[in-house]
């Protein structure tokens, strides 16, 4: 998983999917930027997860839908790592 700006660009060539933390997406990114937004832009976002703030999953899904990246609500929900709570 890339953890630096520009890392998502190389993933399509490698056929990889990426993961990011939903809390960081909601907050606008981590120390290395908003990796989830970048992965979504390149159609490489496979999982949004949470570790300390469960509600961030729903917030992050809505943020994906609001960006110009081709995500509708159904597609945004498909990348949420939320079992068993969803």
Q: What is the pLDDT along the chain (86 residues), one digit of tens a residue?
A: 455 556 555 555 566 677 778 887 888 777 767 777 777 777 778 888 887 788 888 898 898 898 878 889 888 888 887 654 54
1 in a structural domain:
no
How far is residue 27's CA from residue 16's CA, in Å, rounded to a whole number? Answer: 25
85 in a structural domain:
no
How far is residue 57's CA from residue 69's CA, in Å, rounded to a whole number? Answer: 18
83 in a structural domain:
no
pTM value is 0.66
pLDDT at 6: 60
pLDDT at 70: 84
SS3 track for 23-55: HHHHHCCECCECHHHHHHHCCCEEEEECCCCCC
Residue 50 · residue 85 · CB < 8 Å = no
Which residue range forms the structural domain that includes residue 63?
7-78
pLDDT at 15: 66
Based on the structure, what is the number of domains in the chain?
Answer: 1
pLDDT at 1: 47
12 in a structural domain:
yes
pLDDT at 51: 74
């Amino acid at each position: 998983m890339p953890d630096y700006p520009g890392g998502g660009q190389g993933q399509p060539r490698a056929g990889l999917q990426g993961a990011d933390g939903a809390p960081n997406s909601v907050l606008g990114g981590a120390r290395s930027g908003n990796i989830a937004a970048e992965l979504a832009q390149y159609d490489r976002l496979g999982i949004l997860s949470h570790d300390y703030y469960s509600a961030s999953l729903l917030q992050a899904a809505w943020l994906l839908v609001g960006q110009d990246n081709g995500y509708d609500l159904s597609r945004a929900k498909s990348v949420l790592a939320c079992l068993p709570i969803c």
